[in-house]
Chains A and B, each alone.
Chain A
């Protein structure tokens, strides 16, 4: 059940407006931690906590750039988002199947009513 567990972790990590916005920004391109902090009205330590949540749950990864060990760039990892897309597609299929069944039921009732009035 590790796919489900990972999905729960992904959803939980995204259950915060700031972290969702961080993910939005990282969709465009990788960014430095400082750049992310300044894009929000929150302190660097607060941003760092959000990034840690995203990192420990596997949504982002960090890498050092150039020769400067102090500079870290955050980028999205593809896997958790692929798994999430797959699950959301399955949920869409679930409700599409349900609405299809509902449509068939309405059509059946209408046909019965038409037979009754003939």
Chain B
């Protein structure tokens, strides 16, 4: 039987052509320009939105809706804001139980031809037990929304992902 070595952390990394300070600035100040759109990547189930890091440490990552209904969703608070070095923010799905948050850490490290950006998403080990047991009552649940959206086009996205890796 084979298992992943870790079930409580997911990691992704890339190399970008800018120094760490510039990469950090683009990652945060221009987040809406690069953060992909559509229901797989944004929380509003297909509503048009703007992503924004408001403030620095103690601030928040917010998705604001630009349709008539308006409103905003707070993805999470900014926990660490070290320009050119490290960014940590909380990550909530729109139907997480109150108080349940996961965490995303992004590190920016100088590399030979730019900056190595490493992202870690963790915190599954904080899902409380009673959380799952409430499903029967039709209560909201932590991951089903994210999973629901992802599960549906799982094969498509995995295929696209594999293709992008081939091209890389």
CB neighbours (8 Å) of A57 from chain B are: 132
Query: With the chains together, A94 CA to B14 CA distance in Å?
Result: 13
Chain B interface size, as a band, is 35 or more
A89-118 vs B, Cβ < 8 Å mask (1 yes, 0 no)? 111111111111111111101100000000
With contacts A4-B148, A27-B1 taken as known, whether A96 is within 8 angstroms of B124 at the C-beta atoms is no
With contacts A11-B124, A14-B124, A53-B129 taken as known, whether A100 is within 8 angstroms of B18 at the C-beta atoms is no
CB neighbours (8 Å) of B143 from chain A are: 4, 7-8, 11
A86 at the interface (CB under 8 A from B): yes
B23 at the interface (CB under 8 A from A): yes
Please determine whether A12 and B127 come into contact, CB atoms closer than 8 angstroms: yes
List CB contacts (< 8 Å) of B96-139 with chain A.
Answer: 114, 117, 119, 121, 124-129, 131-133, 135
A102 shortest CB reach to chain B, Å: 5
Please determine whether A15 and B125 come into contact, CB atoms closer than 8 angstroms: yes
With contacts A91-B10, A92-B10 taken as known, whether A101 is within 8 angstroms of B35 at the C-beta atoms is yes
CB neighbours (8 Å) of B36 from chain A are: 97-98, 101
B134-167 vs A, Cβ < 8 Å mask (1 yes, 0 no)? 0100000111100110110010011001001000
The contact sample of 22 A-B pairs, CB cut-off 8 A, is A4-B141, A8-B127, A11-B142, A14-B8, A14-B125, A20-B7, A20-B125, A27-B3, A85-B3, A89-B158, A90-B151, A92-B11, A94-B40, A97-B36, A98-B41, A101-B34, A102-B34, A103-B17, A103-B117, A105-B33, A106-B23, A109-B26
